[in-house]
Chains A and B, each alone.
Chain A
Amino acid sequence: MDFPFLLSTMKSLLAATPTTLGLFSLSIFFGGLLALLIVTMRVSNNIVARNFAKGYIFVFRGSPLLIQMFLVFYGLGQFGVIRHSIVWPALREPFVCAVLSLALCTGGYSAEIFRSGLRAVPPGEIEAARAAGMSGFLLLRRIIAPIAFRHALPAYSTEIVLMVKSTALASLVTVWEITGVAQRLISQTYRTMEVFMCAAALYLILNFLILQVLALIEHRLNRHNLRPAERKPSVMSAFFGARP
């Protein structure tokens, strides 16, 4: 085992980790906002909005993310309106293109996940809230969203982990994230196994940490399914203080 080589490889890959995390967190953030918009359209009474959302979800779930990314990266510049608009300097950046296509794609998946959460909200609990005088945003914020999010969280956790791995595709549009840097190292050293093993280990560590956080959130939100005796103070409450 060539430890000095592994160490220097790890060092280069670690230097690329902020880029991977940037791709991941920005696309989850914007994709999440987009998903809220799409799911709102998907469950609305407006037939145009509903069908647009259906079409959106179908397209972005039904086609390969890599092709979506290529279309965004190579395709947008074909349109004069885009090339001459003020957003063009940003859209020329590979990083921005990668975030855009990752967000567009996870927006479609997350919208469906959120919708399944909404469908799991018991109608009787919504009725009880209406009967108590809640409506509109108050009803959404206090009753519908918290129950829907609890139901959606396991599936959404899976989507988040998939997104960490999907950032690797950005290497193909010349973003120097972990996988891109790994490939560059391989082309310089021809030591495929060692480099890719290091990269895989790094992704595993990232996902392990992210899953830990998600599990804590899930545990905390699932307290209503635990018996009172099982509700021991969680790590989250150690961080943020116990709930009143």
Chain B
Amino acid sequence: MSATPRLSVRNIRKSFGTHEVLRGISLDAHDGDVISVLGASGSGKSTFLRCINLLETADDGDIVVNGEEIAMKTTPRGRGAASRKQLDRIRSELGMVFQSFNLWSHMTILENIIEGPVQVQKRPRADCVAEAEALLEKVGIADRKDYYPAHLSGGQKQRAAIARSLAMHPKVILFDEPTSALDPELVGEVLHVMRDLAAEKMTMLVVTHEMGFARNVSNRVIFMRDGQIDCDGPPQDMFGGKGSPHFRQFIRHMETEHHAA
């Protein structure tokens, strides 16, 4: 596999105060990869994802999207992107789906979806509307396009948020526990949409506690522990007993919790 990775993360480090949350994480995501990121609470999964699109600024390390490195600079006030323009453009090529949806509350679902394409990417509004309607059809909420986010169920909101990130034609989509805020009966409809995206070869990096998704949908599983990648590999290996002792203990724990619930 020699093609340029869609996303390449090189040796990311991040501390909050004296607490070193990420201690050198590297990862390549190639076209069509679906990578599940697992780990205990507090192991740094969200921080890792947020460092990729610079919602948090890593103290060290590089992010390369489709072969283009995000230029960084260090000033007395700290490290940051060297060019806001480049950062904004690269962010618009990286989708992000949040645990708490974060739809813009003052806009209808349709307005939420065309906002980025029209305002950031400056595409013609009529094209964006047509595409947004098709996307809403695809995620199964076409009839909700004129609703405001406050009037959707959690599962509908998350599907709208996925459509919103798809509308930007992202190279990679980052998911941070997309189903963790949902009632159990609504998890399935969101996972269904994500499974369809995986089948369409969308490149995805998914922080999740859904073992079924990690096992059956992703082609690679990463286990994070103490700010490092403890072990990683294809799900059949990882779940087939080849993971580290810590990972085996983690999945045993997840499964008992699941049965208890």
In the complex, residue of chain B having the shortest beta-carbon distance to the beta carbon of A225: B150
Contact with A along B62-101 (1 / 0, CB 8 A): 0000000000000000000000100111111011101011
**Contact segment of A31-39, A122-130, A155-163:** A122-130
With most chain A CB atoms within 10 A of its CB, the pick from B106, B107, B119, B148 is B106
Contact present for A138 and B120 (CB under 8 Å): yes
List chain B residues, Cβ under 8 A from A127.
55, 98, 102
Which residue of B has the minimal Cβ distance to A222?
Answer: B106
**Contacting pair B102 A132 (CB below 8 A):** no
**A214-244, CB under 8 A of B: which get 1 and which 0?**
0000000101110110000000000000000
- The CA of A142 and the CA of B117, in the complex, are separated in Å by 13
Q: Is the pair A136, B84 in contact by a Cβ cutoff of 8 Å?
A: yes
When distances are taken between beta carbons in the complex, the residues of chain A under 8 Å from B250 are none
**A127-159 interface with B by 8 A CB criterion:** 127-136, 138, 142-143, 146-147, 150
Contact: B105 with A224, CB < 8 Å?
Answer: yes
Q: Which of chain B's residues has its CB closest to A221's CB?
A: B106
Which of B90, B104, B121 has its CB near the most chain A CB atoms (within 10 A)? B104
Is B116 part of the contact surface with A, judged by Cβ < 8 Å? yes
Query: Of B55, B121, B151, which is within 8 A of A131 by CB?
Result: B55
Number of interface residues of A (CB under 8 A): 25
Which one of A130, A132, A150, A224 has the greatest number of beta carbons of chain B within 10 Å? A132
Type the 1/0 row for B140-168, where 1 means its CB is closer than 8 Å to any CB of A.
Answer: 00000011111100000000010011001
| CB <8 Å contact, A124 and B115 | no
* A131–B53 CB distance below 8 A: yes
- The residue that B91 contacts in the complex, of A130, A146, A224, with Cβ under 8 A, is A130
Neighbouring B residues of A221 by C-beta, 8 Å: 106
Of B84, B101, B107, the most chain A CB neighbours within 10 A belong to B107
Per the bound structure, the CA–CA distance linking A133 and B105 in Å amounts to 18
B121 surroundings in chain A (CB, below 8 A): 133
CB of A100, distance to nearest CB on chain B (Å): 35
Whether A124 pairs with B98 at a CB distance below 8 angstroms is: yes
Task: Tell me, rounded to whole Å, the shortest Cβ–Cβ distance linking B253 to chain A.
Answer: 29
Q: B103 interface residue, CB < 8 Å from A?
A: yes
B residues within 8 A CB of A228? 146-147, 151
> Given A122, A128, A150, A227, which contacts B96 in the complex, CB threshold below 8 Å?
A128
Question: In the bound complex, do residue B104 and residue A143 qualify as a contact, i.e. CB atoms below 8 Å apart?
Answer: yes
Find residues 97-143 in chain A having any chain B CB closer than 8 Å to their own CB. Answer: 122, 124-125, 127-136, 138, 142-143
**Would A128 and B91 count as touching, CB distance under 8 A?**
no
Which chain A residues lie closer than 8 Å to B148 at the CB level?
Answer: 223-225
C-alpha gap A224/B103 in the complex (Å): 12
| A146–B107 alpha-carbon span in the complex (Å) | 10
CB distance from B87 to the nearest CB of A (A): 8
Provide the residues of chain B in CB contact with A135, threshold 8 Å.
84, 87-88
Chain A residue contacts of B149, Cβ below 8 A: 224
Tell me the bound Cα distance from A227 to B164 in angstroms: 22
Q: Pick 6 A–B contacts, CB within 8 A, sort by A.
A: A124-B100, A132-B165, A133-B120, A142-B115, A142-B119, A147-B106
Q: Closest 4 interchain pairs by CB?
A: A133-B92, A224-B148, A128-B102, A124-B102
B residues near A, CB below 8 A? 53, 55, 84, 87-92, 94-96, 98, 100-108, 115-116, 119-121, 146-151, 161, 164-165, 168
Q: A131-B91, A133-B90 are in contact. List 12 more A-B contacts (CB 8 A).
A: A128-B102, A132-B120, A133-B91, A133-B116, A134-B119, A143-B104, A150-B106, A223-B148, A224-B105, A224-B106, A224-B108, A225-B148
A residues at B contact (CB < 8 Å): 122, 124-125, 127-136, 138, 142-143, 146-147, 150, 221, 223-225, 227-228
